[in-house]
């Protein structure tokens, strides 16, 4: 079409990816405290080993991964915190970095068994106050603390309720079933953004992940379906 469009080539974008600064998402539209849930998933690294395997039919190398941690606001559907780490970094290790990104009060938190433990409860209370509701399922073999008969912890209370009512009933009454929405968000990421990272350097991969968060949040702003019960 012979148009002079100032679009940089892929190699230029790749080199400068580390220094990209994305615009901050406006937060004025969000009123009240946050109900949020976190989870993580693996993203494959697209490297030269995969290209050689496809081009020259060589034996494939061990696959490399990065770990994507996401926090979802259950009210707005926005991704409010995200971190891309090495695959060796556990969920609780990336936990403080995620919480640092949340600038509004949190009244409810949902997490899977990876976040089970007193340190998670203590950190949430230190950041958001004693009134924050924490919903984390203890493992099936979880044991009560020695002081549970006289001064039960939050974890003790969850264990006792599950032992009394059953795990499925606890999930329904506590609202833990809403955690499935973060799993849906992970599936949405891999369907829209993709299951692989294209950048080679770790710093550029982190920028690539931040761009993915911005894209999905922009799509959420365009509109969400509303559900109503039909009698």
Residue with tokens 């990272």: 197
Domain definitions of the chain by residue range: 33-133+179-221
Q: Report the chain (231 residues): mean pLDDT per 10 consecutive residues.
A: 74 69 60 87 74 57 82 92 90 89 91 87 90 90 86 87 90 90 92 89 89 91 79 78
Q: Which residue has the tokens 């969000």?
A: 30
Q: Give the per-residue pLDDT at 39.
A: 92
pTM over 0.85, yes/no: no
pLDDT of residue 28: 43
Residue for token digits 């409860």?
Answer: 121
Domain spanning 33-133+179-221: CATH 3.30.420.10? yes
- At what angle are helices 118-128 and 91-100 packed, to 10 degrees? 0
pLDDT score for 12? 67
Distance CA(228)–CA(36), nearest Å, equals 22
User: What is the maximum span of the chain, computed from C-alpha positions, in angstroms?
Assistant: 79
């Amino acid at each position: 079409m012979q148009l002079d469009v100032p679009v940089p080539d892929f190699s230029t974008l790749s080199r400068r990816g580390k220094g990209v600064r994305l615009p901050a998402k406006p937060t004025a539209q969000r009123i009240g405290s946050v109900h949020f849930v976190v989870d993580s998933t693996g993203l494959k690294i697209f490297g030269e080993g995969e290209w050689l395997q496809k081009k020259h039919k060589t034996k494939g190398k061990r696959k490399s991964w990065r770990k994507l941690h996401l926090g979802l606001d259950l009210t707005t559907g926005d991704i409010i915190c995200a971190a891309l780490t090495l695959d060796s970094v556990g969920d609780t290790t990336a936990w403080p970095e995620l919480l640092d990104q949340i600038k509004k009060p949190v009244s409810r938190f949902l997490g899977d068994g990876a976040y089970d433990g007193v340190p998670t409860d203590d950190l949430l209370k230190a950041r958001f106050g004693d009134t924050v509701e924490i919903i984390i399922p203890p493992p099936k073999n979880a044991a009560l603390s020695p002081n549970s008969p006289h001064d039960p912890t939050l974890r003790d209370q969850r264990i006792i309720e599950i032992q009394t009512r059953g795990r499925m009933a606890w999930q329904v009454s506590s609202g833990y079933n809403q955690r499935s929405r973060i799993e849906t968000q992970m599936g949405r990421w891999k369907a829209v953004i993709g299951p692989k990272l294209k950048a080679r350097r770790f710093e550029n991969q982190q920028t690539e992940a931040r761009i993915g968060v911005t894209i999905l949040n922009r799509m959420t702003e365009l509109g969400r379906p509303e559900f109503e019960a039909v009698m």
